[in-house]
Amino acid sequence: MDHYRQLAGIALAQCPPGHDVKLAAELDDGYSELDLRYRRGEEEVRVTGYAAEASFAMHLCLEAIREEMAGRSGQKWSRCVFRVFRDGTFKLDVEY
């Protein structure tokens, strides 16, 4: 399974079904800070208390995606926003 789909599945599993999901992350080598939210109407709700295993799995997926992208461009991004939409599509925005 590719890392994008794996990340989408993990993030969605931490949120109530039927909502758009947003994962904001800041990464450094071996470290990440994650902020997972879902959209309920016009409100973004922060997800707290999810399992450490889910957090670590999302970190590993993001690191793998970052490494794959760095292989092409030679640069590693440090921040990203990964969005998963109710229709199953997803989008990744990165900052260097």
31 pLDDT band, cuts 50/70/90, is confident
Q: What is the pTM of this model?
A: 0.92
| pLDDT, tens only, 59-94 | 999 999 999 999 867 899 999 999 999 998 999 999
Percent of the chain predicted with pLDDT > 70: 98
Res 1: pLDDT: 59
pLDDT at 36 over 70: yes
**Residue 94 contacts residue 80 (beta carbons within 8 Å):** yes
The predicted model gives 11-23 an average pLDDT of 96
Q: Please report the DSSP string for 4-38 in residue order.
A: HHHHHHHHHHTS-TTS-EEEEEEEETTEEEEEEEE
